[in-house]
Amino acid sequence: MLTEIAGIPAHPLLVHGAVVLLPLAALALLFAAWWPAARARLGAGLPVFALVAAGACYLAKESGEQLEKRPSMEGMRSQIEEHSTQGTATFLWSLGLLVFAVLVWAGSSSVVAARFSGATVLSSRVGGIVLGVLSTLAVAACIWGVVAAGHSGATMVWAGV
């Protein structure tokens, strides 16, 4: 795992990818879940974008776990534990966001509908509403996770400055 970039711990650099990409992917999912024109325009780009955002979350989480192992972090163990828990939860929510992005895309894809007859449930009125509500909950959880993990991380670094 990448632990340093140009002599700087990788985590504070990689976390910016998650902080930017996950909320943007979440907003794209929100638009696609409720607005058919956005769903049509985003197409297969929606799940790809969600995959990239989940990948950024994974890199942030893994690089943070590597940073946590440094002896210099020993004095912040309790703060790191809370931050780590929030980061892991955010990563897991990003995977949920990815699943819903795939389902929203699959519900509007003629290729998927032609290959899987069960996909018509996703494009039905009730299926679309249920998928929209669940997607909205995943979006809220992802944004909350980014804010909570970001706040706890920033507090650790910048408290007392």
| Spatial contact of 61 and 86, defined as CB atoms under 8 Å apart | no
Q: Which two tokens stand for residue 94?
A: 């990003």
User: Which pLDDT band, with edges at 50, 70 and 90, does 105 fall under?
Assistant: very high
Q: Which residues of 73-108 are buried (b: 16+ CB within 10 A; e: fewer)?
A: eeeeeebbeebbebbbbbbbbbebbbebbbbbbbbb
**pLDDT number for residue 114:** 78
User: Which pLDDT band, with edges at 50, 70 and 90, does 160 fall under?
Assistant: low
Q: Which two tokens stand for residue 105?
A: 């895309």
pLDDT, tens only, 116-128 = 877 778 878 898 9
**pLDDT number for residue 161:** 58
pLDDT at 74 over 70: yes
pLDDT at 25 over 80: yes
